[in-house]
Chain A
Amino acid sequence: MVELHILLFFMIIGAIIAIEAKDLLSAVVAVGAAGLALSIAFLVLKAPDLAITQLVVEILCLIILIRATLKVDLPFSTSGRWLFNTLAVFVFLIIFLAFGYFALKELPSFGSPIMRVSQFYLEKAKELTGATNLVGSVILNFRAYDTLGEATVLFTAVIGVMAIMRRKGRKKVTDQEEPDEL
Chain B
Amino acid sequence: MITYFLCLVLFAVGLYAVLRKRNLIKIIIGIVICEYAVNLFLVLFGYRMNNRSPIYDPDQVITKMVDPLPQALVLTSIVIGLATTALVVGIAIRIYEKYGTFDITKIRKLRG
Contacts and interface: CB of A to CB of B under 8 A. Distances in A.
B and A form one assembly? yes
Given A50-B71, A134-B55, A147 B13 contact: no
Contacts of A173: none
Nearest to A156: B83
A68 to B, nearest CB: 5
B40 A110 contact: no
A18 to B, nearest CB: 5
B68 A118 contact: yes
A65 B28 contact: yes
Given A68-B93, A97-B9, A105-B1, A46 B56 contact: no
Given A8-B7, A101-B5, A122-B63, A57 B82 contact: yes
Nearest to B82: A57
Contacts of A150: 76, 79-80
**Is the interface on chain B under 10, 10 to 19, 20 to 34, or 35 or more residues?**
35 or more
A106 B83 CA distance: 34
Q: What is the interface of chain B mostly: helix, strand, loop, or mixed?
A: helix
Nearest to B21: A19
A68 B97 CA distance: 11
Contacts of A122: 54, 62-63, 65, 68
Contact of A72 (B2, B82, B102, B105): B102
Contacts of A109: 1
Contact of A68 (B49, B63, B72, B92): B92
Contacts of B76: 139, 146-147, 150
Contact of A19 (B16, B45, B86): B16
19 contacts: A12-B10, A15-B10, A24-B26, A47-B66, A47-B74, A61-B82, A75-B103, A86-B20, A104-B1, A110-B47, A118-B68, A122-B62, A133-B54, A133-B56, A147-B76, A157-B84, A158-B83, A165-B90, A182-B90
Interface of B: 1-10, 12-17, 19-23, 25-26, 28-30, 32-33, 36, 39-40, 43-49, 51-56, 62-63, 65-69, 71-76, 78-87, 89-94, 96, 101-103, 105-106
Interface of A: 1, 4-5, 8-9, 11-12, 15-16, 18-19, 24, 27-28, 31, 34-35, 38, 41-42, 45-50, 53-54, 57, 60-61, 64-65, 67-69, 72, 74-75, 77, 80, 85-86, 89, 92-93, 96-97, 100-101, 104-105, 107, 109-113, 115, 117-119, 121-123, 126, 132-135, 137-139, 143, 146-147, 150, 153-154, 157-158, 160-161, 164-165, 182
